[in-house]
Amino acid sequence: MIKISILILALGASPAIFGQGRFKIHHIIKRSAIETGHLPLVYKDNENKLQPVSICSDKLYGIIRINEGVPIVDFWPIFNDDNANNPHCISKNTELGRFEIDLSRKKVGDPVRYVKVPFSGWIFGIGTTPFRFRPKTKSFPSAVSSQIGINATYGKYVGYSRVSGSAITNYGLIIGPFAGITEVRLEKSTVTDPDSWIEDRTNAAITYGLNIALTRNNLGIVISLGYDHNFGSNSNDWAYQNKPWIGIGVNTYLGVL
């Protein structure tokens, strides 16, 4: 249990080690959100003058970041010509300026303002699933195990960012496959022929399956459906070889592609 606790703490600290600058997503800037005032987007030209601007397509993609206490939008390249001749639409002909989300407070004592902006992306990370429930097999009862292991995961990431003038907090759902290395314990209670079993041992195993994670920023709580295939001495004597299990773990996510 001490080893498991150390591994979980190490994964929790890894965003600070690797740097949160690697954690990027693309935000979905919707025309409906701007028109209803939910997303107070303003445009300042190169002379820092406010100019009327709108999104004429249903949505554009970009990345929101904080610059000197102001959320700004860096739009992704726009390749179509649909709105290129409309000076009030954001298009590939729009003069490069500064797109801000106006969350300024008007009076002393006004509450902090924030908006929620959806995002999506593909993300990779590392994690561990130390606690596993193994359903009963033909000859063996169900079991709960705790074991050391580490895996890599990659999946589709969807969610929303809570944006204020001082911070961006991401909440999301990730679904994707994982694969890694773990350990399994071979002992009388987990082998197919306990009467002839002489010496307990720990074997290495390949672990793989599907992760579903609920995340906040770089850290996620994971529910996994997986399989373990151990190798080494007496590997085929393990009663749960290649049998499904359900587990709970933690992942840390290092970037989005």
Flag whether pLDDT at 55 surpasses 60. yes
- Please indicate, yes or no, whether residues 233 and 153 belong to a single structural domain of this protein: yes
- Please indicate, yes or no, whether residues 100 and 149 belong to a single structural domain of this protein: no
Domain that holds residue 65: 26-112
Range of lowest pLDDT (25-29, 80-84, 86-90): 80-84
| DSSP string across the chain | -HHHHHHHHHHHHHHHHH-GGG---EEEEEHHHHHTTSS-EEEE-TTS-EE--B--SSEEEEEEEEETTEEEEEEPP----TTTT-TTB--TTSPP-EEEE-----STTPPPP-EEEEEEEEEEEEEEEEEEEE---SSS--EEEE--EEEEEEEEEEEEEEE-SS-EEEEEEEEEEEEEEEEEEESTTTBS-GGG----EEEEEEEEEEEEEEEETTEEEEEEEEEEEEESTTGGGBTTTT-EEEEEEEEEEEEE-
The share of the chain scoring above pLDDT 70, in percent, equals 89
- Please indicate, yes or no, whether residues 127 and 195 belong to a single structural domain of this protein: yes
- Please indicate, yes or no, whether residues 41 and 152 belong to a single structural domain of this protein: no
Please enumerate in sequence order all residues whose Cβ is within 8 A of that of 81, keeping only pairs 6 or more positions apart, or say none: 91, 92
Which of 81 and 233 is assigned the larger pLDDT? 233
Final residue in a domain of this structure, among 112, 136, 157 = 112
What is the predicted pLDDT for the residue at 50?
85
- Please indicate, yes or no, whether residues 214 and 232 belong to a single structural domain of this protein: yes
- Please indicate, yes or no, whether residues 105 and 135 belong to a single structural domain of this protein: no
Flag whether pLDDT at 200 surpasses 80. yes
- Please indicate, yes or no, whether residues 155 and 207 belong to a single structural domain of this protein: yes
- Please indicate, yes or no, whether residues 181 and 96 belong to a single structural domain of this protein: no
What is the predicted pLDDT for the residue at 56?
84
Among residues 53, 57, 58, 97, the alpha carbon closest in space to that of 74 is found at 97
Flag whether pLDDT at 23 surpasses 70. no
Q: C-alpha distances in angstroms, 8 versus 101, 108, 144?
A: 37, 43, 19
Q: In the structure, what pLDDT confidence band is assigned to residue 30 with cuts at 50, 70 and 90?
A: very high
Virtual CA dihedral for 153, 156, 158, 161, nearest 10 degrees?
50
Computed over every residue of the chain, the mean pLDDT equals: 85
What is the predicted pLDDT for the residue at 105?
84
- pTM for the complete prediction? 0.82
CA 74 to chain centre: 21
Are 47 and 19 within 8 A, CB to CB?
no
CA 130 to chain centre: 19
Say how many domains are in the chain.
2
What is the predicted pLDDT for the residue at 189?
85
- Listed ranges 8-12, 23-27, 120-124, 139-143; the one with the highest mean pLDDT: 120-124
Flag whether pLDDT at 20 surpasses 60. no
Q: What is the pLDDT of residues 133-190, one digit of tens each?
A: 999 887 788 888 888 899 999 999 999 999 999 899 999 999 999 999 999 989 888 8
Q: C-alpha distances in angstroms, 113 versus 98, 164, 171?
A: 20, 6, 18
Among residues 60, 48, 56, the alpha carbon closest in space to that of 100 is found at 48
